[in-house]
Amino acid sequence: MGKESGIGWTTFSVDDDGGNVRVIINDITDVGIAIPAAEQISTGLDKSAEERIRLLQDAQVTANGIYNPTLLTGAHSVLSTVNHGVNRTYSMAVSAQTLAMEMLLESYELNRGADGSLVFASVANLGNGTVPAWS
């Protein structure tokens, strides 16, 4: 299979603060997934270029979308409980590639545009110490 667009995105679900899976793909307009790793520079005096050691893995999901307060299924009802401080399973799938991670919701922000639009931005960070992997 060759290159593909993101149009085939099939799954975006997040647990609510009670651990119930909530499918909010219809409210999400764009998403970013980062799976960086920390590095330590370990260059000895005998080297002419940097050496590095790979350290802890991390992950972050940024999701933006349209305000939807529908009870149980709307993104607002799922993400607005950011202050509850519980890990939530984020599950995403595109083109038969899936990624599920336990995330801690860092922020949920609403923005009312000058045109009257009401959108949200959310950020979640890896929360359980398990290295994320696409499958």
Tens digit of pLDDT for each residue in 6-43? 888 899 999 998 899 999 999 999 999 999 999 999 99
Convert the pLDDT of each residue in 61-78 to its tens digit: 999 999 999 988 899 999
Structural domain boundaries, residue 19: 9-36+58-126
Confirm whether 41 is domain-assigned.
no
Confirm whether 85 is domain-assigned.
yes
Total number of domains constituting the chain? 1
Position 69, amino acid: P
pLDDT band at 84 (very low <50, low <70, confident <90, very high): confident
Confirm whether 64 is domain-assigned.
yes
pTM summary value:
0.89
Confirm whether 44 is domain-assigned.
no
Q: Is the pLDDT confidence value at 1 over 70?
A: no
Confirm whether 51 is domain-assigned.
no
Strand partners, 39: 54
| H-helix or E-strand spanning residue 44 | none
- Spell out the SS3 assignment of 93-134: EECCEEEEEEEEEEEEEEEECCCCCEEEEEEEEECCCCCCCC
Confidence at residue 87, expressed as pLDDT on a 0 to 100 scale: 94
CATH of the domain at 109: 2.40.10
Residue 24 burial by CB count (10 A; 0-12/13-18/19+): exposed, middle or buried?
buried
Cα gap 43→51, rounded to integer Å: 5
Confirm whether 84 is domain-assigned.
yes
Confirm whether 111 is domain-assigned.
yes
Percentage with pLDDT > 70 across the chain: 99
